[in-house]
Chain A
Amino acid sequence: MKVSRNKVVVTILAGVVLVLFLATVAGLFYYREMIRKLGEVREEVFNEYPRLYAYIADDPDSQLSNRIYKEISEYAVEHDCYVEMTGQNLSSSYSKADRMNIAISSKVDGIILEGDDSEETARLVDKATANGIPVVTVLTDCQTSSRKSFVGLNNYSLGSEYGDQLAAIGEEQKKYPLTALILLDRDDGNADDIIHAAIQQAVVGRSVSFTSAIVDTSSPFTSEESIMNIIDGIDKMPDVIICLNDRTTESAIQCVVEKNLVGKTTILGYYSSDTILKAIDRGSVYATFTIETKTVARQCVNALNEYNNTGFVSEYNPANYIMINRDNVADYEPEDKDEG
């Protein structure tokens, strides 16, 4: 009896030892797995693409540029190429010319450039072309250069649209003569001139008086100060302030709110940022125009791909614009939320 009990105890102990042994072995394997996984922390998953395009914005911090870049990136990865916003995430910020140089020396397969009329830009576009890099301009053209294609709005029709809205404000307010202040961008001389002309053309025959001022957008902080100075320097507040880009629009909104001019003046803006949409809702902005970024992005990537594949591409790809006012602002609010 005593022996059999002893045997039972030994058998139980042996069972426990077996279980512990298995647990140890399993533990060691699990442990090894843990150690192996330690190394995997660093290994990131990434996709490779055959082509790299550079996106060079006029102002890399501009919301519109960022939106366009986002759309281009999303569209590009679906079409076997990757778009890099040159100069982004660097320790120092570079000028557009430097970013062009970087893009050229890092041998990208194509450049999407927010063009301008400056000679330097044209020279760099030519340099890129000389290095076998096709350049597509977006939003603003660089007509004098050897760029392969332009994707953007027809500035004249945009100006006409501005004019129509100005006329509508006049009709609404029954306030003649209507005074309008056009805030022009220092860098976008040619494009802005066309818009300016188109606006004037559109309101011919109506009692509208125009004044214009140039906003200093040379650095990220100057535009708001510049607008503040312009408004401060005006004797009589204009009935309408016309802004031709997103930063100017936002700065103008800020000035109007700060100086308590809501109701005394209204803004015709550009782009559809959160701030601008809210301002429409609150009445400080009468209407805003925005480009169809998805289309623009698609056109840019397609133009470069087409050129790289065939060596030919259409020189102009017109983009559509959308007008947002109180009537349709509700439709656009959600889209802006993810801009954050």
Chain B
Amino acid sequence: MKANFFANMKISRKLVAVFLATSIIAMGVNIFIYLNLNIALDKINQVFSSNISLNELSDNLNQIHAGLTGYLETKGTDDLELYYASTQSMNTLMKDLNDTVTDNSVKLSERDIRNMLETYLATADEAIQAKRGRNIDEYTTKYNECTRIKDYLNTYIYSVNNEQFRTNSNNYNALVNSLRYTEIMSMLIFAVASVMNILLIIILTNTITRPLTRLSAKADEISQGSPENVEPLEVISDDEVGKVTRAFNEMLASIKDYIARIRTQLITQSEMKEKNLLMETHLKDAQLKYLQSQINPHFLFNTLNAGAQLAMMEGADRTVEYIRNMADFFRYNVKKNSETVKLSEEIELVDSYMYILNVRFAGEMLFEKDIDESLLNVMVPSMIIQPLVENSIKYGIKDLEPGEGKITLSVYREGDNCCIRVSDNGIGTDEDIIEKIMSNEKKPSETRGVGITNVMERLDLHYNNREVFEIKSKKNEGTHVTIKIPLEDGNV
């Protein structure tokens, strides 16, 4: 409770309390020693007081005797006054003298002196009475008696004084010697008290500074990173440091909270990113499907036209054949809309397409295949070769003389790639158009058609790599379009 009371005090008050406590202790010890030393000094001073009072006694006696002598000689009133005054003070002084019988020589001498003084005073009074009665013999005898007693008294006082002086001197020496011990003792006490004070200051100052040290150590800990592992400080006191500690703890808590919030935010963000990516993919997928759906009606329209023409010109056999091919073609389109297919299926589609076209254009177009049979099972995105063939026909060999146009489809291995090349011997493509196609700047209407752009975009999405696609062309020597499918585990 007391410790709490101290802990809850303001620092300034604590410091004042520390210095007050130590100062009061030091002052208390000092005052105690000083007072006792004073008592001792008083005692030393008292040592010789007995000598002083004996001397007073002797002086007084001599005055009485002088008064007595003077009165007996001249009957002078001054002498009588002196006599009475001295007698009075003697009576007072005598009261301090011992009047009991003891085995202490000084005390016994005091008793003798006292009794002799009484005798002296009585005899002196008798002498004065005799003087008044003018009885010369009487007062002479009494006076002689007084003189004799006075002589004894002086001797006694002198002797007792001497004796006392000797005892007193011994006492004085003993006192002074013991005083030296008390001096050493007081030094010791003072030294102990000083050490105690120093320790007290150390403890109390430590009580004040310890929370600060703890606080700074915690701050260090935080500054070294990972504040979430730092435990809050225990609040010991309710002083300024206690308040700072509390604020520090709150700050620590809010830092931890903040870090936790940031962490949750990051997780949400990355989750959202992932979702976004997924959505993008789906969008692309949708776009692809849309593009694919753009192709079908257009083609269907043409082929149906051709089918109608054929039906008008010829008999049913060839129409059957034609429609079969057309049916295959559409079936494929419907079936393999967006998925990957075997290369062989793609080639079959091209075969069907070329049959249909040859029917349409009355076999004017030459179609050659150079296929590496081992690559027929390579998986590729669907509908990638047919649009190229369509483009080659549309922009390459359409304007040539009938029977001169020739399309070559080659499938071969080149390093780790399966190369699919569609070549024509048509008019070729301008460099800047190729560049535009490759950089995807050209809109489908301006290029060699929807087909090639669509193929390129789909390959791009599928392989994330533009280099899969390659267009080479020379003026009037035809165009070579090559798709390089990487031979990976997934597509073989």
- Count how many chain B residues have C-beta atoms less than 8 Å from C-beta atoms of the other chain: 62
Tell me which residues across on chain A come within 8 A of B374, comparing CB atoms: none
Indicate which residue in B37, B100, B192, B203 contacts A10 across the interface (CB closer than 8 Å): B203
Q: Which of B27-64 contact A (CB under 8 A)?
A: 29, 32-33, 36-37, 39-40, 43, 47
Binary B-proximity of A1-44 (CB < 8 A = 1, otherwise 0): 01100100010011011001101100110111011011101101
Structural contact, B175 and A41, CB atoms closer than 8 A: yes
In the bound complex, how far is the Cα of B149 from the Cα of A203, in angstroms? 50
Which chain A residues (81-105) contact chain B, with CB distance < 8 Å? Answer: 81-82, 84, 89-92, 94, 98, 101-102, 104-105
| B152:A48 contact, CB within 8 angstroms | no
Is the pair B206, A90 in contact by a Cβ cutoff of 8 Å?
no
**Docked pose: A101 CA to B179 CA in angstroms:** 45
Residues of A within 8 A of B188 (CB): 27
Among B167, B181, B185, B196, the one with the most A-chain Cβ atoms within 10 Å of its Cβ is B196
Chain B residues with CB under 8 A of A13: 199, 202-203
Binds B, one of A49-57, A113-121, A158-166, A177-185: A49-57
Interface flag for A107 (CB, 8 Å): yes
A78 to chain B, nearest CB (A): 12
**How far is it, in angstroms, between the C-alpha of A23 and the C-alpha of B193 when the chains are bound?**
9
A46→B155 contact, CB < 8 A? no
How far apart are A213's CB and chain B's nearest CB, in angstroms? 35
Q: Is the interface of A mostly helix, strand, loop or mixed?
A: helix
Does B105 reach chain A (CB closer than 8 Å)? yes
**Interface contact tally, CB-CB below 8 A:** 139
**Contact with A38, one of B40, B108, B195, B207 (Cβ below 8 angstroms):** B40
Q: A6-B210, A52-B111 are in contact. Are A20 and B196 (CB under 8 A)?
A: yes
Instruction: Using A24-B189, A91-B159, A98-B152 as known contacts, say yes or no to A38 and B175 having CB atoms under 8 A apart.
Output: yes
Q: Is residue A77 contacting chain B, with contact meaning CB distance below 8 A?
A: yes
Known A-B contacts A42-B171, A46-B104, A106-B116; the reply to A24 vs B214 at CB < 8 A is no
B65 to chain A, nearest CB (A): 15
What separation, in Å, do the CA atoms of A190 and B421 have in the docked complex? Answer: 186
Q: How far is the CB of B316 from chain A (nearest CB, A)?
A: 103
Seen from chain A, the residues whose Cβ lies within 8 Å of a Cβ on chain B are 2-3, 6, 10, 13-14, 16-17, 20-21, 23-24, 27-28, 30-32, 34-35, 37-39, 41-42, 44, 46-52, 77, 81-82, 84, 89-92, 94, 98, 101-102, 104-107
Among all A-B residue pairs, the 4 with the closest Cβ atoms: A46-B104, A20-B196, A106-B112, A105-B119
Which B residues contact A (CB, under 8 angstroms)?
A: 25, 29, 32-33, 36-37, 39-40, 43, 47, 100-105, 107-109, 111-113, 115-116, 118-120, 148-149, 152, 155-156, 158-159, 162-163, 167-168, 171, 174-175, 178-179, 181-182, 185-186, 188-189, 192-193, 195-196, 199-200, 202-203, 206-207, 210, 214, 217
